[in-house]
Amino acid sequence: MHIMKKCLAAVLTVLAGAVVPAPSFAQSANEIFYPMLVTRTGPFASAASGVSSGQQDYFALLNAKGGIKGIKIRWEECEFEYKTPRALECYERYRGQWKIVYPNSTPAIFSLADRLNQDKVLGINVAGGRSDSSDGETFPYLSPVMLNFWAQAASTIRYIAQREGGEDKLKGKKIAFIHIDNAYGRQPFPIFDALAAKYGFEWKSWPLAWPALEQSAAWVDIARRFRADWAVQWNYGQSCSVPFTEMTRVGFPIEKFVGTLWCGSEEDIAPAGDLAKGYVSANFHGVGQDFPVIKEILDVVYKSGKGNMEKDRIGTVAYNRGVINGIIIAEAMRHAVEKFGMPLTGEKVRDGFRMIKLDKARLKELGAEGLMPELAFSPTYHGGVDGQLYQQWDGKKWKTISDWVAPYEDVVWNEIKKSAKAYREEVQQKK
């Protein structure tokens, strides 16, 4: 009896911890089932919700126009609150149903990498994820799509150099880096190290414990002890708006403060009010509603009552970023349908992604000319080595204040090759 009780307890423990799989969704000939990882609650939802809704609105537009080659997309959300354990649960719940995975979370991509490789499903994290996954040969099922974090970090240093009057003016400067202490926030480290050695500036990290809402001590240290010449923030969601109050308290000048592109949406700075006026952040795409595809979404999707978010948020940075994500995912699916036919699999969509060529002509066809840069991928190049734009908040809207600022490509590619080689050797040792 005692043994039976122990066995029963063990079984119940396993069942209690098990992830209940989702019902099996059979794909019909005119439907692509697309599970979606979303963050609509918690401290990172302010911008992340716009990204998810923009993506859904683009799919709704495609469906209203007949879908992809007559095949409609049916999506279903799985909320994970930007919490990696929940992202893994969501993945397991829909395991076998994924065609492409976009979590909008670098920590989730790192944790999902092995499963994605096993299941032959491409994981993308536009302007995020693993920076070395630009190397498509080493990472066949991961992609940053555009602007990996190393390119972002290098572009940011080049922007600061331009503001200072040239790279030679960086010597002796102090750059503070305040960031969420996770895989996302730590990505720029090797690039900052390489460029500091090359140009003679000093940089220091201020890691913030999740969700990075407590920053008071860090800003006192940055302004009064380290005496930074520049500060760069690599936060997300609500944590992007915290520095404006803290900077004011310690007297750090906003004109010497630069934000990552993930701290550059209207939702990120609105809570700070007038304190955010003059703030500069990176970006990689157009802002506002004055693009054919955005206008078409308003005319077709919202006029028919099928929109997926508040109408007044259409055209924000986060929303437009979601539309761009939708375009990339739909293009990968389109190529897969044309080349391999239905039903779609992760491997087919991965190969479809590698066929994407978003040149000026194709962007014009999609109504995205001016909204996003030209992109092209291949089996060896999964994207990511790109430049950034810089935008400034005037108190009401973003104004682009720079041309494209390229990264130091030699430094970025050197780090990609070095990291990819180390990864291959690590994998080989495990075999």
The CATH number of whichever domain residue 164 belongs to comes to 3.40.50.2300
As a whole number of angstroms, the distance between CA 83 and CA 105 comes to 9
As a whole number of angstroms, the distance between CA 119 and CA 281 comes to 37
SS3 115: helix
User: pTM of the predicted model, to two decimals?
Assistant: 0.92
- Considering the domain boundaries, does residue 295 fall inside one? yes
What is the span of the domain harbouring residue 311? Answer: 30-148+287-376
- Considering the domain boundaries, does residue 291 fall inside one? yes
- Of the candidates 62, 70, 89, 63, the residue with the CA atom closest to the CA atom of residue 78: 89
- Look-up: residue for tokens 């990552």? 260
Residue 272: how many CB atoms within 10 A of its CB?
19
DSSP label at 219? H
Contact between 218 and 245 under an 8 Å Cβ cutoff? The reply is no
Range list of β-strands (E), 238-283: 257-259, 280-283
- Considering the domain boundaries, does residue 13 fall inside one? no
Residues 398 and 422 grouped into a single domain: yes
- Considering the domain boundaries, does residue 24 fall inside one? no
As a whole number of angstroms, the distance between CA 149 and CA 128 comes to 6
- Considering the domain boundaries, does residue 361 fall inside one? yes
As a whole number of angstroms, the distance between CA 157 and CA 196 comes to 9
HEC secondary structure over 366-385: HCCECCECCEECCCCECECC
Pull the structure tokens for residue 50.
């716009």
Residues 56 and 157 grouped into a single domain: no
Contact between 366 and 326 under an 8 Å Cβ cutoff? The reply is no
Full pLDDT tens readout for the chain, 431 residues: 333 333 333 333 333 333 444 444 555 668 999 999 999 999 999 989 999 999 999 999 999 999 999 999 999 999 999 999 999 999 999 999 999 999 999 999 999 999 999 999 999 999 999 999 999 999 999 999 999 999 999 999 999 999 999 999 999 999 999 999 999 999 999 999 999 999 999 999 999 999 999 999 999 999 999 999 999 999 999 999 999 999 999 999 999 999 999 999 999 888 999 999 999 999 999 999 999 999 999 999 999 999 999 999 999 999 999 999 999 999 999 999 999 999 999 999 999 999 999 999 999 999 999 999 999 999 999 999 999 999 999 999 999 999 999 999 999 999 999 999 999 999 888 87
Residues 356 and 399 grouped into a single domain: no
Residues 269 and 330 grouped into a single domain: no
